């Protein structure tokens, strides 16, 4: 993005950033696919129209969805035989970019192809593909993904809708037994959807085999009216994403043909006999839901892209907007030259870079699993865990970044034309759909505890006791003055030496890794009695330590992002760019440490002296990075037609230049009025 900027000279000999090369690094493995998508998304037909009513916005987005179906290369994830490209990573990389046009379009596309059509693809068989996929892929059949219920959101295993098989009619009786079992918050359900993939408890021969998916027509395509036994409501106006027609569905003894059970993982014979290639009900359930992990992966990518948009707007405006007199009597100060403005924005920029590199690794893992190149149970568990760690982190970060950017742009940030408030409203729900963020972090923590417990698998009781004792002794050592004395002696009282230690890659890795591993060990030790306790006592123990579990998961996510950023540095060849990115990586790592200084001090990992050095070194990094802020956001590679914010267009720079030129001429003419305080009062 070409902008007029006023940059304060750096206090150090500053390297330069190769913006073009850095853009290619950030675009990652699917760079050309992303570029192609961005070119398409410059088309005004795909852009959000501010000020539309909810009904108008919904119809606009449906029309845009059909444009994508015709021109958007949206079927890359589907098999070549079905008109796709068997390119799972490329498909999501392309899809994530759609958020810059309108988050409503991104999510409606996700409902249609990422949920509805993908459920048919991954949970159905060749017969289902032949009968149902053409309409889903072309949007001839707009579809809903009917999993969530009013009474059960993230707890999918406990949904109450039932599908009871009747051998006499060879149909399933799909039924909503009470109001809390209504399917809710479903995209395409309120108006546009003519079919849905409905999740229900499959019951046959008196046995509940758990949650399965069924293809169910909803409406008469000609009239738009619900079919017999099906009803629903419009969710109405929401806090954001009002281009999507979210609604509720309920079913009153609707007959679903046996063949419309999507039975890749669970089959019912004509006589009602149930069979599955996966014997364990729990493993079957998680395998079925695991095929839909792409929703979390894509939300992670879309949230990161939204953070990029917010930072482009705020940094560009902060580099042009002037406010309050400074060291020059005739020039006001550029906003980004204020230390607090840097403190607000640059750490968010550092974390966005970390999340960009982390998302690329997640996308590569997703592609490896879904392409079949690396698709073991462990690979799928790793994918689920990484997605469950990164999606909460990036969506919460996007909300924080949008709000901070809005405030950093003052009143201009509150105008709809500058997009920040609209994007903030649309992204709000990202924190709770496709898995509530807090619930997802619990899944991560449970995986961490499982990995930890496997260390004890082949160790007898005495060995376990020794390991726990050694860990306790280690923790006790860190809490004694001994380590603090050694640390102080090593620093020699020299703050520069201490800061130099903090910028060391291995020091940062040790600080972040130690925090995560120690927290996991402490929680695992505290929860050990739950293995032999009653259900009530085990639940009490888990509830007591729930916050600690979540903190373990957050620490794991921090480490994932830092490691991804560190690995990403290796792909940067230009020395100047690498130096600037290393500073940015250091800023991210030390902001994480600073955010958790209480833990490091309480557990003796940092002395008070070095803890103070963390903040002072962060301030030094902010000064070093300030001259490069514009280059770092320009490297995100979004054109003005993607950003579409007036204050990031260069207009503010032009206004400031006009004002400064006016004042210069006024002073030069001698006609400038004299300030009152400069006039001496008359004597006497």
Cα dihedral 612/618/623/626 (nearest 10):
-160
d(CA 23, CA 17): 11
Phi-psi map region of 435: left, alpha, beta (phi>0 left; psi -120 to 50 alpha): left
pLDDT in tens, 167-181: 999 999 999 999 999
Q: Please tell me what DSSP assigns to residue 115.
A: I
Tell me where in the chain the CATH 1.20.140.10 domain(s) lie: 437-626
pLDDT, tens digit, for every residue of 231-255?
999 999 999 999 999 999 999 999 9
| Residue 475 in this model has a pLDDT that exceeds 80 | no
**How many residues comprise the chain?**
684
Look at residue 446 and tell me whether its pLDDT is greater than 50: yes
CA distances (Å), 55 to each of 159, 236, 428, in order?
31, 10, 21
Rounded distance between C-alpha atoms, residue 309 and residue 313, angstroms: 6
Query: Looking at beta carbons, which pairs linking 524-532 to residues 24 or more positions away fall under 8 Å?
Result: 524/449, 524/452, 524/453, 525/468, 525/471, 527/449
Packing angle between helix 481-491 and helix 608-625, nearest 10 degrees? 40
Mean pLDDT to the nearest integer, 549-560: 95
d(Cα 523, Cα 520) in Å, to the nearest integer? 5
How far apart CA 95 and CA 366 sit, in angstroms, is: 14
**322: which strand partners?**
334
Give the model's confidence band at 2: pLDDT under 50 very low, under 70 low, under 90 confident, else very high. very low
- CA 55 – CA 59 distance, rounded (Å): 6
- Topology of the domain covering 437-626: Butyryl-CoA Dehydrogenase, subunit A; domain 3 (1.20.140)
Q: What is the C-alpha to C-alpha distance for residues 19 and 483, in angstroms, rounded to an integer?
A: 44
Asked whether 116 and 197 are in contact (CB, 8 A), the reply is yes
pLDDT in tens, 117-165: 999 999 999 999 999 999 999 999 999 999 999 998 878 999 999 999 9
For residues 516 and 552, the answer to whether their CB atoms sit within 8 Å is yes
In degrees, to the nearest 5, what angle opens at C-alpha 477 toward C-alphas 476 and 481? 110
Give the model confidence (pLDDT) of 273-311 as tens digits.
999 999 999 889 888 887 778 999 999 999 999 999 999
**Would you list the DSSP string of 630-670?**
HHHHHTT---HHHH--GGGTTHHHHHHHHHHHHHHHHHHHT
Q: How far apart are the first and last CA of the chain?
A: 62
In tens, the pLDDT along 72-85 reads: 899 999 999 888 99
DSSP bridge pairs for 217 = 195
β-pair type (162-166, 322-325): unpaired
Domain(s) labelled CATH 2.40.110.10 in the chain stretch across 144-290
Separation between Cα atoms, residue 113 and residue 72, nearest integer Å: 12
Reference 186, options 214, 159, 148; nearest CA is: 148
The tens digit of pLDDT for each residue in 3-40 reads 444 444 443 467 999 999 999 999 999 999 999 999 99
Question: 72 φ, ψ to 5°?
Answer: -100, 5
* CA-angle at 358, arms to 352 and 361, nearest 5°: 150
Helix (H) / strand (E) element for 640: namely: helix 640-643
Any residues with CB less than 8 A from the CB of 449 and at least 6 apart, and which? 520, 523, 524, 527, 549, 552
pLDDT at position 501 is 78
Q: What percent of the chain has pLDDT over 90?
A: 72
The two most distant CA atoms of the chain are separated, in Å, by 114
Closest by Cα among 213, 221, 225, 141 to 174:
213
- Kindly tell me the sign of the dihedral angle through the C-alpha atoms of 147, 150, 155, 157: negative
Tell me the CATH number for domain 144-290: 2.40.110.10
Alpha-carbon distances of 83 from 69, 75, 80, 134, 295, rounded to whole Å: 12, 7, 5, 9, 21
């Amino acid at each position: 993005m070409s902008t007029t900027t006023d940059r304060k000279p750096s206090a150090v000999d500053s390297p330069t950033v190769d913006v073009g090369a850095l853009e290619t690094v950030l675009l990652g493995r699917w760079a050309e696919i992303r570029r192609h998508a961005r070119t398409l998304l410059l088309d005004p037909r795909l852009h959000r129209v501010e000020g539309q009513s909810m009904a108008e916005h919904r119809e606009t987005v449906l029309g845009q969805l059909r444009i994508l179906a015709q021109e958007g290369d949206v079927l890359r994830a589907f098999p070549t035989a079905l008109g796709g490209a068997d390119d799972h990573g490329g498909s999501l990389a392309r899809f994530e970019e759609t958020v810059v046009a309108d988050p409503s379009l991104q999510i409606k596309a996700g409902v249609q192809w990422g949920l509805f059509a993908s459920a048919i693809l991954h949970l159905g068989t060749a017969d289902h593909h032949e009968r149902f996929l053409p309409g889903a892929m072309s949007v001839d059949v707009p579809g809903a993904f009917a999993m969530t219920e009013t009474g059960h959101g993230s707890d999918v295993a406990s949904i109450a809708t039932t599908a009871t098989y009747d051998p006499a009619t060879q149909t399933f009786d799909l039924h909503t037994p009470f109001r809390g079992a209504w399917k809710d918050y479903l995209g395409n359900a309120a108006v546009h959807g003519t079919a849905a993939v409905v999740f229900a408890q499959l019951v046959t021969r008196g046995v509940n085999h758990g949650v399965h998916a069924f293809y169910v027509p909803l409406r008469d395509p000609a009239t738009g009216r619900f079919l017999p036994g099906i009803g629903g409501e419009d969710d109405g106006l929401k806090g954001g994403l009002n281009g999507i027609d979210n609604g509720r569905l309920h079913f009153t003894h609707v007959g679903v043909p046996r063949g419309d059970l999507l039975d890749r993982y669970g089959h019912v014979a004509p006589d009602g006999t149930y069979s599955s290639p996966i014997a364990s009900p729990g493993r079957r359930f998680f395998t079925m839901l695991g095929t839909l992990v792409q929703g979390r992966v894509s939300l992670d990518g879309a949230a990161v892209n939204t953070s990029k948009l917010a930072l482009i707007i705020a940094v560009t405006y902060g580099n042009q907007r002037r406010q309050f007199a400074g060291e020059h009597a005739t020039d006001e100060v550029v906003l980004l030259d204020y230390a607090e403005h840097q403190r607000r924005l640059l750490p968010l920029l550092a974390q966005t870079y970390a999340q960009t590199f982390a998302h690329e690794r997640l996308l590569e893992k997703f592609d490896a699993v879904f392409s079949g190149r690396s698709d073991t149970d462990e690979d799928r568990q790793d994918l689920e865990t990484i997605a469950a760690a990164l999606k909460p982190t990036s969506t919460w970060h996007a909300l924080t970044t949008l709000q901070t950017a809005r405030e950093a742009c003052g009143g201009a940030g509150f105008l709809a034309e500058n997009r920040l408030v609209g994007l903030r409203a649309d992204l709000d729900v990202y924190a709770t759909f496709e898995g509530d963020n807090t619930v997802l972090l619990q899944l991560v923590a449970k995986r961490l505890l499982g990995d930890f417990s496997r260390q004890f698998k082949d160790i007898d009781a005495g060995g376990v006791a020794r390991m726990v004792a050694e860990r306790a002794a280690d923790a006790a050592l860190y809490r004694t003055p001994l380590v603090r004395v050694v640390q102080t002696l090593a620093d020699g009282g020299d703050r520069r030496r201490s800061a130099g230690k903090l910028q060391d890659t291995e020091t940062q890795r040790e600080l972040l890794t130690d925090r995560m591993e120690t927290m996991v060990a402490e929680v695992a030790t505290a929860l050990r009695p739950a293995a032999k306790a009653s259900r009530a006592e085990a639940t009490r123990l888990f509830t007591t330590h729930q916050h600690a579990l979540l903190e373990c998961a957050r620490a794991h996510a921090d480490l994932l992002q830092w490691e991804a950023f560190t690995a990403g540095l290796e792909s940067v060849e230009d020395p100047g760019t690498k130096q600037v990115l290393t500073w940015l990586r250091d800023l991210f790592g030390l902001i994480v440490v600073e955010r958790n200084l209480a833990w490091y001090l309480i557990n003796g990992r940092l002395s008070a002296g070095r803890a103070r050095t963390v903040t002072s070194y962060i301030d030094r990094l902010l000064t070093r990075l300030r001259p490069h802020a514009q280059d770092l956001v320009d490297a995100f590679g979004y054109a003005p037609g993607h950003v579409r914010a007036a204050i990031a267009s260069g207009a503010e720079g032009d206004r400031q230049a006009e004002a400064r030129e006016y004042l210069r001429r006024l002073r030069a003419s001698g006609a400038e009025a004299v300030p009152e305080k400069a006039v001496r009062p008359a004597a006497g």
